[in-house]
Amino acid sequence: MSDVHFDIASLHAAYRDGVGVADVIATIYARIETADDPGMFIHLAARADLLAAAEALGPFDLVAKPLWGIPFAVKDNIDVAGMPTTAACAEYTYWPDKDATVVARLRAAGALVVGKTNLDQFATGLVGVRTPWPTPRNAIDAELVPGGSSSGSAVATARGIVSFALGTDTAGSGRIPAGLNNIVGLKPTVGALSTAGVVPACRTLDCVSVFALTVDDAYAVFSVVAARGAADPDPYSRGVAVQPLAARPPVLSVGIPANADLKFFGDAAMQAGFEASLAMLSRLGCRLVEIPFGDFYATANLLYEGAWVAERYAAIRDFMEANEAAMHPVTRKIIGGARKLSAADAFRGLYALQAYRAKLAQVIASVDLFCVPTAPTHYTLDAVLSDPIATNSRLGTYTNFVNLLDMCGIAVPTGTRDDSLPMSVTLLAAAGLDGLVASVARDLHAASGLTLGATGWRQPSAQPSGASAEDGTIELVVVGAHLSGMPLNGQLKEAGARFCRAMKTASSYKLYELVGQATPKPGLVRVGNGGTAIEVEVWRLPADAFGHFVAAIPPPLGIGNIELDDGSTAKGFLVESVGLLGASDISSFGGWRRFLSDRVST
């Protein structure tokens, strides 16, 4: 069992091959013993209890229980019935009588709770050392901080002790530990995952996050727990549509911090690693767009001023007033600073945030997504202990603004730096675009060729993805101005369409540049002889939006059946014969994108 990989696909394959859950549980405890890290878990499930939970799963059935037999860990500010919740403060301990909503959903899907993991006390910190328990050891280099506040969850995942772990993320706690331990950290849209049963840090910003060895695993967990139930007691939950993790559009605009605005605090290896990551994105077909980042940084600075420090204080005020001496000194200092604040200070912070949100809304909408370093540098334990506030603040350079601006994100490993330390970037996008950032992150991770966490395991083969014909959508073939990255692509997205795949038509079509079009467009025509294969994209529209979209198509364009080079047929854009008057045959270019590119270059 020592060689059984714990990514979800591999572990489920092992179960199909006859591996027993009891053997997997024995392996979990063996790996915990081998790790010899007393700071990783605050509470472990008794082996007998875990075996009983496994027995109660019934027969192997991934339809009824898509996470059947998958072990996971839970950050110890998230309730698990039968286990104490401490938030890394022994005096705060209570025993919940029911699971947090996210834990309940995971258990219902067949996942097994291994234990509760260590954290920066009351989820206040990005370093992982603000705990009265021993500091979890960074899985890659024990001299470095593990990252916080979800330190134990990240380390347990990176060591292959669990398949995934839950963290929380208010200011970066679901991303920084992932980046420092060579794993994936998914920070969903705020409100997509219920925080009912989670000890609050900042209730208006808190997210439950997912650590995993692969993007597919992180997104699979997200998909299980993201649905909002009618009985969800979390008033900050909101319905966020969870799309299948489909292929990404082949052309995306990716905002990156302008070169003058990048911050690495003297870490040349991290800067070089980020440049290499951007080169990978370019090779994947993404178009990089430099964005001034001063206002993003200014937004980030608000997080530890006024309103949100006061919100942390409000979350534990009664406990703190009665038990302040029990708190970690750095945590006590940060949260205690709220006592000097007034309601007027809080409103000033809220007004400032709203001003930045309004100012940055168009910037965020100007690109498909953003790419930033997950962390600007790596810090040793000694460096953080000698200057705990400044080092923590620097680690949040590219994370603190994200929830304030209502963005989703995912941290993904992209390589190994020259000094053998992990390199990671975070992909960010507007709320609700969790599937988009995950699809790009999956391609980045695959392109890196990295092994998983600290395990040495190879990445599993990519799983097939995309919508099925039974998911209530209709395929639409686009050939010109509606292609990804083209001027009218936004009309597709507004109609709720999602990219499915790029391919070619059968070799029986011609493509023409039409005349008299306000937005330049081509026209696709089927011919009997002398045709060629034309590059197209297949998108999927919700069935109820398809008719409205088609009705808005102006003549001479219309919708007809298009034969694709794999033998399938789908609805798509064709041009009426009257539209070919004065049009130029551009079939030799093989597609609209190549035609435009050639025209620009000449």
Strand pairing category for 369-373 and 509-513: unpaired
Task: Catalytic residue, from 10, 116, 149, 484: name it.
Answer: 149
Instruction: Name the nearest CA neighbour of 75 among 136, 21, 142.
Output: 136
What digits encode the pLDDT tens for the residues 312-358? 999 999 999 999 999 999 999 999 999 999 999 999 999 999 999 99
Would you tell me the crossing angle of helices 268-283 and 434-448 to the nearest 10 degrees? Answer: 100
Tell me, yes or no, if 75 is annotated catalytic.
Answer: yes
Residue 353: strand, helix, or coil: helix
Chain center to CA of 83: 28
Reported as a pLDDT band with limits 50, 70 and 90, residue 285 is confident
Per-position DSSP letters for 408-438, written without gaps between them: EEEEEEEEE-TTS-EEEEEEEEETT-HHHHH
Domains 8-308+314-448 and 473-601 alike in fold: no
What digits encode the pLDDT tens for the residues 298-313? 999 999 877 899 999 9
Residue position matching structure tokens 């009309």:
491
> Is residue 240 pLDDT above 60, yes or no?
yes
Task: Catalytic residue, from 173, 237, 448, 587: name it.
Answer: 173
Would you tell me the crossing angle of helices 215-225 and 8-16 to the nearest 10 degrees? Answer: 80
Tell me, yes or no, if 173 is annotated catalytic.
Answer: yes
Span 405-416, mean pLDDT?
A: 98
Q: Where are the domains of the chain?
A: 8-308+314-448, 473-601
pTM above threshold 0.85: no
Which pLDDT value is given to residue 227? 67
Reported as a pLDDT band with limits 50, 70 and 90, residue 569 is confident
Reported as a pLDDT band with limits 50, 70 and 90, residue 249 is confident
Which pLDDT value is given to residue 397? 98
What digits encode the pLDDT tens for the residues 25-62? 999 999 999 999 999 999 999 999 999 999 999 999 99
Average model confidence (pLDDT) across the chain: 93
| 578 or 220, higher pLDDT | 220
The fold of 8-308+314-448 is Amidase signature (AS) enzymes (3.90.1300)
Most trustworthy range by pLDDT among 119-133, 214-228, 562-576: 119-133
Residue position matching structure tokens 């920070």:
187
| Structural domain 473-601, CATH architecture | Roll (3.10)
What digits encode the pLDDT tens for the residues 110-164? 999 999 999 999 999 999 999 999 999 999 999 999 999 999 999 999 999 999 9
Check whether the bond before 556 is cis (ω within 30° of 0). Answer: yes
Which pLDDT value is given to residue 127? 97
Task: Catalytic residue, from 65, 75, 116, 187: name it.
Answer: 75
Using only the alpha carbons of the chain, give its radius of gyration: 25
> Is residue 468 pLDDT above 50, yes or no?
no
Terminal Cα-to-Cα distance of the chain (whole angstroms) = 61
**Considering the chain, what percentage of its residues have pLDDT values greater than 70?**
97
Tell me, yes or no, if 493 is annotated catalytic.
Answer: no
φ, ψ dihedrals at 82, nearest 5°: 90, 0
Q: What is the DSSP letter of 521?
A: -
